[in-house]
Structure 1
Amino acid sequence: MSEITNKSKRQRAIMKIGTHSGTFHADEALAVYMLRLLPKFSDATIIRSRDSDILEACDIIVDVQGQYDSIKHFDHHQRGFAETFSDKFKTKLSSAGLIYKHFGKEIISQILNLGIENPSIDILYAKIYAELIEAIDGNDNGQSQYPDEVVPAYSIKSITLPGMIAALNPAWNQPSDDTNLYQQFLKASQLIGGVFVDLVQYYGNSWLPARQLVKVALERRSEYDSKGRIVVFDDFVNWKDHVFSLEKELNISGVVLYVLYSDGKGWRVQAVPVTESSFQSRKPLPEAWRGFRDQELSNLTGIEGGVFVHATGFIGGNRTREGALQMAQKALDL
């Protein structure tokens, strides 16, 4: 091995990531893991301490020291701290959110092997914050998801990521020396970091390609209805999340009423809900069709190949693509 390579490895090895000692939490466990995904910090030593001089000797410090400068110090505990991910969010950042805000695009680029200038990076950067990092921020800062008067029916503490991380701290009757805490912190960081990487890979390798398919289908919707109210997918794709976000992007919110897709055996006509999580449809399938099946349904609709229409009208089926399309087109006028 060359002298230059040896020197390079020695330089990487002396990088230090500082965080506080004692009880650890999900935010700094994730912040440290994310930093170590970057080439600059991949071989970094993790320093856990409350000694200011020891921490200041580190190259980057998270969740301690009461400072945030976006360069070396990434703490959120100081008086007056109110940093958020962007003006679209109200949740204050924790150390995880701070590291993600400043290094997230580079981290995503590393995980997915995408160029940092790839336009997909910006889409994923915002999505992953909203789907994972914001919850870590809110939990660590004590910002409730719900109004205080809402009382949960049961506890989910043990199955949330912060709860799982907290449970890795030594119990009151277990060794809590620095060595044991350090090893447990590494375990916690690996656990939450693995979840983060899996999530990034899902959104990069599955969610993002689905988004592109939905966008193309939305752009073709006028082929099936002059007002663009029907979208057709020749193969099933997870479309709900994308339809709502892309409608906003394309300035067509509320336009799409029915989505058609194959279920592998026949075709489905699904009414688009009012919101992604709503059980109320923008325009349910006609009341007169609801609850009927097979030939009886075909007789009612005048469309051959009828399979069913759900009693609430949110979905129906036909044996063929053409039959399903005719159902959607006819339902628009009823």
Structure 2
Amino acid sequence: MSRLIEQIKQKDACAFTHGGKFHADDVFSSALLLYINPEISITRGNNVPEDFSGIVFDIGRGEFDHHQKDSRIRENGVPYAAFGLLWEAVGADILGEELAVKFDESFVQPLDNNDNTGEKNELATLIGNFNPSWDYEGGSDEAFFQAVSVAGMILENKFERYRGNERADKRVEEVLAKHDPASRILVLPEFIPCQKALSETDIAFVIFPSNRGGFCIQPQKREYSMNYKCSFPAEWLGLEGEELVNATGIPGAIFCHKGGFIMTVKEQDEAVKACEKALSLHKDSSVIVWYGSKGDTAAKACDSQTNEQLMNVAKARGIKGVHICHVDAMPVAQLELTELDSETAYAEVLMEKPQWKAYVKEQVKCILKYRPEAVYVEGNAFETYPVIRALRKKHIPVLTMIENKEKKIMVRIP
């Protein structure tokens, strides 16, 4: 147990942070302390009392403050805020070393970065919205502790989710150890979250008992893909009852979602049979979208070296029957721009923000209709950057070509 944990758990433990407007940093720091000791007393103010002997954070320029010039920065360049400094000291006691690091990377660091740089963060915005309006005449302590209460619920659920995922990973390892590696169908004794663990395997379907009775079948996606390794036949999608029985030839077929992400049947052997039928009918055909080429010259632009490298991408991912589809970016010439003048030295797009968002959304829609395994991008940054950003938010692999040591190399944009 860390020194800080022992201090937090003391009977009359107390802590002090800054008053006035609050942010996600001091709110989640407080929620973390209260998670460890619900009885700890947290006081807010503009100056730390000289005789205060408790934990001081986000003020005072001490161990758990980050406003001083020599405040600490992580090895990856993300600066610590108070929440990160506290988590560094207590995280391993709460989640264990390995999970504490993962939690820091995915949850704590984005909040730390927001507090230090102002980088947009939806959760930080949500917490900030608890602040009273600018002309409110009372104090902010009541609103602060309301925000802390919400942050506390988020932390509790996050911690339990991380622990649950760890238990699931261990359970999946146990099931896989007994699984026939030649089979692309995995039967689970109960529902276990396993999509991420199975994305790197050849397993195409998972079967598990449904809490409504019968058995569920879930197709599994490839790693970094929006596509399934094997999909249910299109003729099954959206059917249920007798219609699905007739389409599948399986007497116990109950329901197949129109989105193709789940199917239910009455018996386990029928679930296996449904998977086997889907596998026998499946034709592995996938698309890599080439975005940024121009009009009728698209085919000519597709040089042999790029083609070959894109095919190698598909091969490395175990994808057969891949073909390349071109989607043209909207040429800059078609966008209305402001006139250049000596004062601004650059032009502006004559679009309102909603129009620009709609433009980008339409470009992305044109790409997603192909359900691509990856998107290869070329062209100028003005045309491509907004689309790249939107695709990365959807976790779709985005590729581009760079020159490294006088050699052209295909790279995936992080």
Q: With the length of structure 2 as denominator, give the TM-score of the two structures.
A: 0.53
Hey, what does 2:64 align to over in structure 1?
Answer: 74
Picking from 107, 114, 119, the partner of 1:139 is 114
1:110-165 CA-partner distances (Å, limit 9, x unpaired): xxxxxxxxxxx3454345445643443343232246xxxxxxxxxxxxxx653454
Identify if the C-alpha distance between structure 1 residues 298 and 23 changes in structure 2 by more than 3 Å, giving closer, same or farther.
closer
How large is the RMSD of aligned CA atoms in angstroms? 3.8
* One of 243, 253, 264 as aligned partner of 2:195: 243
Unaligned runs of 5+ in 2: 1-6, 282-414
Q: Which has the larger Rg?
A: 2
Q: What residue in structure 2 maps to residue 305 of structure 1?
A: 252
Alpha-carbon distance between aligned partners in 2 of 1:192 and 1:200, rounded to the nearest angstrom: 12
Q: Which residue of 2 aligns with 1:49?
A: 46
Q: Mind listing any 5+ residue stretches in structure 1 that lack a counterpart? A: 1-7, 67-71, 110-120, 146-159
Query: Does the alignment pair 1:329 with 2:287?
Result: no
Query: What are the residue-to-residue correspondences of 1:22-101 with 2, within 5 Å?
Result: 22-38=20-36, 43-44=40-41, 46=43, 48-50=45-47, 54=49, 58-66=53-61, 73-79=63-69, 83-84=73-74, 91-101=78-88
Match of 2:159 in 1: 200
Q: Does the Cα contact within 8 Å between 2:217 and 2:271 map onto a contact in 1?
A: yes
Using CA pairs below 8 Å that are at least 6 residues apart, which structure has the higher relative contact order?
A: 1
| Partner residue of 1:221 out of 170, 179, 183 | 179
1:259 is the counterpart of 2:214: no
- Structure 1 segment 125-204 matched on structure 2, within 5 A: 125-126=100-101, 128-129=103-104, 132-141=107-116, 142-144=118-120, 161-176=123-138, 180-204=139-163
1:82/1:25 Cα in 2 relative to 1: closer, same or farther (>3 Å)? same
In 2, Cα distance between equivalents of 1:198 and 1:287: 38
Summarize the Cα distance change of 1:231–1:129 in structure 2 as closer, same or farther, 3 Å threshold.
farther
Q: What amino acid sits opposite 1:139 in the alignment?
A: N
Report deviation, 1:74.
1.9
Counterpart amino acid of residue 231 in structure 2: P
Correspondence for 1:232: 187
Alignment check: 8 A CA contact 2:233 2:278 kept: yes
In the alignment, the residues of structure 1 paired with residue 204 and residue 137 of structure 2 have an alpha-carbon distance, to the nearest angstrom, of 60
Q: Distance in 2 between matches of 1:36 and 1:292?
A: 50
Corresponding letter in the other structure for 1:243: Q
Sort the Cα spacing of 1:59 and 1:319 in 2 relative to 1 into closer, same or farther, 3 A.
same
- Does the aligned pair in 2 maintain the 1:36–1:42 contact within 8 Å? yes
CA change 1:295–1:210 in 2 (3 A) is same
> 1:26 Cα deviation (Å)?
1.9
- Are the counterparts in 1 of residues 256 and 262 from structure 2 also a CA contact under 8 Å? yes
192 and 259 in structure 1: CA distance in 2 versus 1, 3 angstrom threshold: same
- Partners of 1:319 and 1:45 lie apart in 2 by 55
> Does the CA contact (< 8 Å) of 1:28 and 1:63 recur in 2?
yes
Q: CA deviation at 1:296?
A: 6.2
* In 1, Cα distance between equivalents of 2:32 and 2:44: 15
Counterpart secondary structure, 2:89: helix
TM-score of the pair, normalised by structure 1: 0.64
Q: Could you tell me whether the CA contact under 8 Å between 2:111 and 2:124 is conserved in 1?
A: yes
**Structure-2 change in CA distance of 1:323 and 1:77 (3 Å):** same
Percentage identity across paired residues of the two chains: 25
Residue 283 of structure 1, CA deviation: 1.7
Please tell me the residue identity of whatever aligns with 1:22: G
